[in-house]
């Protein structure tokens, strides 16, 4: 559901940048007192894990479309909504800057659509409420499913609204809306199952890491945190470096909806501002579309593996550094208040 710049106007893109920045700033303020030695490495590893899993497009049977894990719900459940939103923003920013996945103008839209609704609406209203009385595998599964579906449905609706507000008359509102909501319903079901599996793994090993785990501590295997982090790192490298080879080549939910609405998987990008941003993105992208640039003759799988591993490492480093900076700012603020 990564939007391209051609779908929106600079005005809509600018407004969504402001909205995403406001949500990010509020998250930093709210998370300052919660940045401990556990949160920071988990932010890095989970951000890298989501980056890798987003490279795996799975086929939606009978549609000719595919989908991938959004990851916002997973991040919110493990890190909490504020750290989850910041990690999601880091993933999407790295994808746009270094891999040309999602437009630069549309980055605010993508952060809002994939991060805000899952972390700040679906997580507190569904996931957290359903697990308020404690965790079980069944509760985690149902909470993850319903929250993931709601988050994606709101995000898909937001995409439609943003394109309509941008005056994209070639996209008929009713048909585009129906296509987007229906295909992302199917994608949301799969995402919910994957999200539940990852959360259940961590909950059974270290229930205190899952916010709102409640009385689930009796199910703990008392697995050391380092072992959990190592397991997630190995899974990230395997997904990004190997499993990404087998991603579906079918268009994703947004591309599929565009094609069935207009006959094209992408709209034509027009306007000088759009072109300038496109030129900047092409210069910044080290592995555009998760492959080596034209002229570099290597197997396609080499580009995919390099993108998966390099992108995961960059995401891990960026999110860990962000966590360290936030923690340092917290200490400084505390010292200043003391004096």
DSSP letters along 75-141, please? HHHHH-HHHHHHHHHHHHHHHHHHH--S-STTHHHHHIIIIIHIIIIIIIIIIHHHTTT---HHHHH
CA gap 303, 30 in Å, rounded: 39
Helix residue ranges per DSSP H, the chain: 10-31, 39-53, 72-79, 81-99, 107-111, 117, 128-130, 137-165, 173-205, 225-241, 253-262, 272-284, 300-338
Question: What are the structural domain ranges in the chain?
Answer: 5-338
Report pLDDT digits (tens) over 75-91. Answer: 999 999 999 999 999 99
What distances in angstroms separate CA 124 from CA 121, 143, 147, one per listed residue?
A: 6, 11, 9
Burial of 112 (0-12, 13-18, 19+ CB in 10 A): buried
Residue 58 has pLDDT above 90, yes or no: yes
Query: What's the mean pLDDT in 302-324?
Result: 95
Backbone angles phi, psi at 186, to 5 degrees: -65, -45
CA gap 147, 211 in Å, rounded: 15
CA gap 218, 206 in Å, rounded: 10
The rounded mean pLDDT for the chain is 89
Strand partners, 27: none
CA gap 151, 70 in Å, rounded: 9
Residue 211 has pLDDT above 70, yes or no: no
CA gap 86, 297 in Å, rounded: 36
pLDDT band per the 50, 70, 90 thresholds, residue 233:
very high
pTM of whole model > 0.95? no
Can you say how many angstroms the Cα of residue 220 is from the centroid of all Cα atoms in its chain?
A: 28
Residue 114 makes CB contacts below 8 A (sequence gap 6+) with: 1, 70, 71, 72, 88, 92, 155
pLDDT band per the 50, 70, 90 thresholds, residue 333:
low
The rounded percent of the chain whose pLDDT value lies above 70 is: 93
Burial of 18 (0-12, 13-18, 19+ CB in 10 A): exposed
CA gap 21, 290 in Å, rounded: 26
CA gap 91, 111 in Å, rounded: 9
Residue with tokens 């999601």: 88
Report pLDDT digits (tens) over 146-199. Answer: 999 999 999 999 999 999 999 987 888 999 999 999 999 999 999 999 999 999
| Res 171: pLDDT | 86
Nearest to 20, CA basis, from 81, 95, 111: 111
Strand partners, 309: none
CATH 1.10.10.10 fits 5-338, yes or no: no
Query: What's the mean pLDDT in 17-44?
Result: 88
Per-residue b/e over 273-299, b at no fewer than 16 CB within 10 Å? ebeebbeebeeebbbbebbbeeeeeee
Strand partners, 60: 65
Cβ distance 1 to 252 under 8 Å? yes
Residue 115 makes CB contacts below 8 A (sequence gap 6+) with: 20, 23, 72, 84, 85, 88, 89, 92
SS3 state at 60: strand
Query: What's the mean pLDDT in 304-328?
Result: 94
Residue 213 has pLDDT above 70, yes or no: no
CA gap 32, 326 in Å, rounded: 6
């Amino acid at each position: 559901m990564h939007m391209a710049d051609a779908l929106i106007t600079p005005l809509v893109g600018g407004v969504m940048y402001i909205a995403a920045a406001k949500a990010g700033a509020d998250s930093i303020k709210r998370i300052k007192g919660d940045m401990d030695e556990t949160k920071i490495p988990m932010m890095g590893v989970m951000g890298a894990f989501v980056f890798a899993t987003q490279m795996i497009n799975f086929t939606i049977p009978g549609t000719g479309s595919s989908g991938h894990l959004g990851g916002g719900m997973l991040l919110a459940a493990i890190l909490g909504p504020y750290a989850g939103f910041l990690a999601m923003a880091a993933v999407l920013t790295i994808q746009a800057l270094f891999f040309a996945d999602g437009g630069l103008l549309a980055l605010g839209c993508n952060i809002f659509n994939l991060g805000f609704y899952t972390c700040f609406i679906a997580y507190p209203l569904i996931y957290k409420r359903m697990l308020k009385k404690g965790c079980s595998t069944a509760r985690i599964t149902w909470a993850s499913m319903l929250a993931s579906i709601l988050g994606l449905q709101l995000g898909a609706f937001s995409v439609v609204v943003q394109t309509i507000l941008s005056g994209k008359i070639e996209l008929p509102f009713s048909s585009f809306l129906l296509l987007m909501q229906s295909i992302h319903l199917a994608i949301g079901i799969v995402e919910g199952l994957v999200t539940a599996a990852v959360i259940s793994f961590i909950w059974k090993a270290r229930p205190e890491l899952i916010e709102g785990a409640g009385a689930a501590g009796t199910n703990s295997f008392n697995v050391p945190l380092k072992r959990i982090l190592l397991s997630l790192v190995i899974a990230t490298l395997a997904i990004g470096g190997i499993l990404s080879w087998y991603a579906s080549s079918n268009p994703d939910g947004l591309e599929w909806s565009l094609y069935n609405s207009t006959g094209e998987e992408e709209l034509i990008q027009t306007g000088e501002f759009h072109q300038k941003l496109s030129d900047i993105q092409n210069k910044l992208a080290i592995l555009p579309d998760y492959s080596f640039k034209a002229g570099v003759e290597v197997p396609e799988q080499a580009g995919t593996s390099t993108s998966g591993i390099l992108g995961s490492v960059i995401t891990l480093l960026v999110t860990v550094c962000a966590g360290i900076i936030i923690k340092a700012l917290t200490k400084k603020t505390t010292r200043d208040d003391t004096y």
